[in-house]
Structure 1
Amino acid sequence: MTPLRVIDSGLADACANVAMSGALAELHQAGRIGDTLRLHRYPRSVLLGLHSPEEAVDRAACARLGAQVVRRVSGGGAIAMEPGILAWDLLVTRPPNRAPEDLSRDLCEAIAAALAGCGVEAAFRAPGDIVAREGKLGGTAGLFEGMTMLHQGSLLIDADPGVMAQLLGMADLPVTTLARIAAEPPEAGRVAGVIARAIAAALGRDPVQGDLSTEEIAMARRMAGKEMPWPAAC
């Protein structure tokens, strides 16, 4: 079975995380790295989609609640992030016989099914959500450049939907968390393992643990426009 490199880069500055997503995408497109899954987490922040309007975020609330605001490299709407939300970047070469939306659906369905192992009944909802009966648990977005597919997603393990709504200038968010609905309190490391195995299985790959390379770190730092440690202390 072909290996899939899996990296868990932990909790890092929002700008650093977005820069690393861009660096991995560029390096994969250039053929300098193989297919890679990066798991990571953000401090309290708002990630604007590539084309999201500035009005999609409440700047005053972000300042009051100590949230960074950055623009990510993929499309989709603005999303609020907290340390209890698991995020991932999946960089793969697109199979020539599968449409990107079909591959994205397969990945989401595999993740939803795997959450049963965490005591949660979840399902895929087009175009890119993972939902439970109690609300949305996660969402995904994608970026396609040549034969490279960047599939990005996030899963709410333990976060405050009320705070997230404030950051986005909304009265409320129709979301829930694993901490609220799982039969047992979810352990973040276990959930990360469940997600990694589900994604690898959906691709027919063997997950192999790896680390960020010197080249990846250097490119991310250049893209961030400042020298910052990687990974940041958790």
Structure 2
Amino acid sequence: MNLASTGGRQAAWRAYDWQLIDTGPLQPLQHMALDEVLLDEVAAGRRLPTLRFWEWAAPAVVLGIFQSVRNEVDAAAAQRHGVEIVRRISGGGAMFVEPGNTITYSIYAPKALVEGMSFKDAYAFMDDFVLEALGEVGIRAWYQPLNDITSDAGKIGGAAQARRGAAVLHHVTMAYDIDADKMLQILRIGREKLSDKGTTSAAKRVDPLRSQTGLPRAVLIDRMVDVFKRRAGLQPGVLTPHELAVAEALIHEKFATDAWRAKVP
């Protein structure tokens, strides 16, 4: 994107009224279902564009929609550590999450916001507010195409997107205080990547925000919210009874089923 188009795109954020949702801790399957419900609600025009920060009530491995369970996860290790395996509706790679150890958020936006952009540009554009927030706390961060957020100290997180009807879902998980040893026991792909790099410590590949900033997780989230609010405006929002009911139904009909979880065995 050139500077002129970037300026125009940044102004486009304010063309919408944005809501912020903070649900408190939820189970992994609830998060998976809510992403689909809120994407559909924005697409249907029943919900304003929304930013949602996630709180995890339990640890999980979150697989991308096209990923193989066998290839990505050591199921025995996951069971041993009490880590649930779930599958989201977007692409991208597997993420290992634990309560309080990651920063995860979703943006549910009209597709018009990224209309005409390449996927590469859309990813970077949707997360530019986070790069600015990280810069304000002393981290020089940038996008590593297609979907990694990285810094001089190492990878911080990864993004994924799903588009449906008139809306786009963009979500990100960033390492705040990740247990690298546990992650390597559970994620097979993590072992392969480290082996490929000749690296013996996961901390040298993924460097959590806690070690890079020394700041509490809540402070980092507040800074991200502040930057988003400056750029786009942001008002408090809540989940509606309808959205909660549909999400609960989706858990039983889709996300908790073996057919979905093992969509790619």
TM-score, normalised to structure 2, is 0.78
Within 2, Cα distance between the matches of 1:48 and 1:15?
12
Match of residue 219, structure 1, among 233, 236, 246: 246
Q: Are the equivalent residues in 2 in contact too, given 1:108–1:129 (CA < 8 A)?
A: no
How has the CA–CA distance of structure 1 residues 50 and 153 changed in structure 2, closer, same or farther, with 3 Å as cutoff?
same
**Who is 2:207 aligned against?**
176
1:200 to partner: Cα distance: 5.0
**Who is 1:231 aligned against?**
none
1:213 to partner: Cα distance: 1.5
**RMSD over equivalenced CA pairs, Å:** 1.9
Higher deviation after alignment, 135-144 or 87-96: 87-96
1:199 to partner: Cα distance: 4.1
Q: Secondary structure at the match of 2:35?
A: helix
More strand by share: 1
- Which runs of 4 or more aligned residues in structure 1 lie more than 4 Å from their structure 2 counterparts after TM superposition? none
Match of residue 99, structure 1, among 117, 120, 130: 117
Within 1, Cα distance between the matches of 2:147 and 2:228?
14
Higher deviation after alignment, 64-73 or 20-29: 20-29
How has the CA–CA distance of structure 1 residues 14 and 100 changed in structure 2, closer, same or farther, with 3 Å as cutoff?
farther
Higher deviation after alignment, 60-69 or 21-30: 21-30
Q: Are the equivalent residues in 2 in contact too, given 1:47–1:78 (CA < 8 A)?
A: yes
Higher deviation after alignment, 81-90 or 94-103: 94-103
1:100 to partner: Cα distance: 5.5
Which one-letter code corresponds to 1:191 in the other structure?
A: L
**Who is 1:208 aligned against?**
235
Within 2, Cα distance between the matches of 1:166 and 1:112?
30
Match of residue 109, structure 1, among 128, 138, 145: 128
Within 2, Cα distance between the matches of 1:54 and 1:153?
20
**Who is 1:3 aligned against?**
17
Within 1, Cα distance between the matches of 2:226 and 2:98?
23
Per-residue displacement from partner, 1:24-76 (whole Å, max 9, x unpaired)?
11222222111011100322110010110112111011011110000011111
Which one-letter code corresponds to 2:248 in the other structure?
A: R
Give identity over the alignment, percent. 26
**Who is 1:47 aligned against?**
62
**Who is 1:28 aligned against?**
42
How has the CA–CA distance of structure 1 residues 143 and 199 changed in structure 2, closer, same or farther, with 3 Å as cutoff?
farther
How has the CA–CA distance of structure 1 residues 103 and 199 changed in structure 2, closer, same or farther, with 3 Å as cutoff?
farther
TM-score, normalised to structure 1, is 0.87
Q: Secondary structure at the match of 2:112?
A: coil
Match of residue 63, structure 1, among 72, 79, 95: 79
Q: Are the equivalent residues in 2 in contact too, given 1:108–1:128 (CA < 8 A)?
A: no
Task: Flag structure 2 segments of 5+ consecutive residues without an equivalent.
Answer: 1-13, 195-201, 254-265
**Who is 1:190 aligned against?**
219
The answer to whether the aligner puts 1:87 opposite 2:107 as a matched pair is: no
Q: Secondary structure at the match of 1:95?
A: helix
Which one-letter code corresponds to 2:53 in the other structure?
A: L
